[in-house]
Amino acid sequence: MKHVSKGLCRTLKIVSALMFIMGALLTTTKAINAKDDAKSSSGPEVTYFKMENGLDVVVIPDHRAPVVTHMVWYRVGAADEAPGVSGIAHFLEHLMFKGTEKIAPGEFSKIIARNGGEDNAFTSQDVTAYFQRVAKEHLPMVMEMEADRMNNLKLLEKDVLTERDVILEERRSRVENNPNSLLGEQISASLYLSHPYGIPVIGWMHEMAKLSRKDALEHYKNYYAPNNAILIVAGDVTSDEVKRLADKFYAPVKRGPDLPARERPMEPPHVSPRRVVLEDERAGKLAWQRHYLVPSFKTAPKGDSEALEMLMKVATGGTTSRLYKKLVVADKLASSAGGGYSASGLDYGGLYIYAIPSKGVTVEQIESAIDDVFEKIAKEGISELELNRARNAYIADYVYGNDSQSGLARRYGFALATGWSIQDIESYPERLKKVTVEDLQRVAAKYLDINSSVTGILIPKAKKMAEKK
């Protein structure tokens, strides 16, 4: 992201997934194609069409204020990078603000700001996205600017080297100087033995230091084209208005080469649990976490990802969860505890559990208590009351999230860019309704396999006393 990678900081793996599903539950879609005409009446009536150059366009009307959110999503992320150039997707995200023949380096964001708008970008393992939020009258301007840099990016060697220093400093400040981030990287690297999700989005420092103008332009030419992109416009617009503007500004952008399917190396069978222990003087408290290798919506058997969502809500979601009530309230073993599941990955989902042990509590005590919670669910199941409460909590969150114009744009963009279809989005509420208590018991036994996990422990290390001269 330009200057500071806020998108990277947000870590879309979980937050974006939840936001997108919120929109999926309450938003309906009306495709221009006749086969998609019959839709539910709840939520805004969203329109989809595809341009001749391959650009997918989604329009989400929201007429409460004369404001629009304009987003371009590219179906490429850190997990699509070639070996040896980790961080190039995120680096190019920064460089996209360096200008074109029409726009001088660094002027893109200044133009948006002078017109009262805001803009930024973010990179995840599976997507790279750029967005602007402006008054409706400025939509043609941002469309023209974004279409221009889709295939007219101009990179000067001095700008590339300067921005490389920026991302190196970003890694130092956000990762190297943060024990929790360092531990998280090591957990991911241990969890994924073969799949590139084990490589951090920002990249490894030694490879980032060698990223070049050539690397950036190669990534740009390979992936930045209308037939590998999705345009989302949410706000005070109609489908006809967006179509006219898209025909004017995006239609002239030439189609890029047809890309092969996004097939990445899959994980071999995991036959042994792994542990990562990091001792650091900067760590304030002992911290424990565990991550499991689990499927995403795209790769899970029918119904399993929805059941995993409900399982983690019941087991780890907030102060009413089983984990919190046992570890924090009843047994006083931890000051906090929780977890979550994200179904959003193109290849794998993310399932994690964490706890901050109370003073004097050992790692063994924490692990034993957490294992007891999930073993009980796997053996005895949960109640209908717990399942219904989890479902209702999701629905309430989705309703609140549906008030965000930019949130709507993110939900549809992230969904489509990671392989969800419009039918997948619209059928989500019905799929959620079909989850049973037996499903939760089944997926708990199936996926929370200790052999498919990595346990990470952050241990505060005593600071060394300075030697006297």
Catalytic residues: 93
DSSP 360-409: T--HHHHHHHHHHHHHHHHHH---HHHHHHHHHHHHHHHHHHTT-HHHHH
Say how far apart CA 28 and CA 47 lie, in whole Å.
9
Query: Tokens at residue 231, please?
Result: 């345009």
Q: In what order do the strands lie in the sheet with 229-235?
A: 28-31, 45-50, 56-61, 229-235, 67-74, 128-135, 118-123
DSSP 8-state secondary structure symbol assigned to residue 148: H
Residue 179 CA, distance from chain mean position: 22
H, E, C per residue of 53-83: CCCEEEEEECCCCCEEEEEEEECCCHHHCCC
Checking 43-46 for CB contacts under 8 A at 24+ apart, the result is 43/402, 44/408, 46/412
DSSP 86: T
Cα distance between residue 25 and residue 5, in whole Å: 29
DSSP letter string over 420-456?
--HHHHHHHHHHHHT--HHHHHHHHHHH--GGGEEEE
> Which residues does residue 288 pair with via DSSP β-bridges, in sequence order?
355, 457
Q: Which two tokens stand for residue 95?
A: 């460089």
What is the per-residue burial (b if ≥16 Cβ within 10 Å, else e) of 271-296?
eeebebebeeeebeebbbbbbbbbbb
Helices 422-433 and 384-401, interaxial angle, to 10°? 150
Angle at CA of residue 235, ends 240 and 256, nearest 5°: 65
Residue 306 class from Cβ within 10 Å (0-12 exposed, 13-18 middle, 19+ buried)?
buried
Residues 6+ away with beta carbon under 8 Å from 148:
100, 102, 103
- Full 3-state SS string of 274-324: EEEEEEECCCCCCEEEEEEEEECCCCCCCCHHHHHHHHHHHHHCCCCCHHH
> Rg for the chain (alpha carbons), in Å?
23
Check: CB of residue 199 under 8 Å from CB of residue 273: no
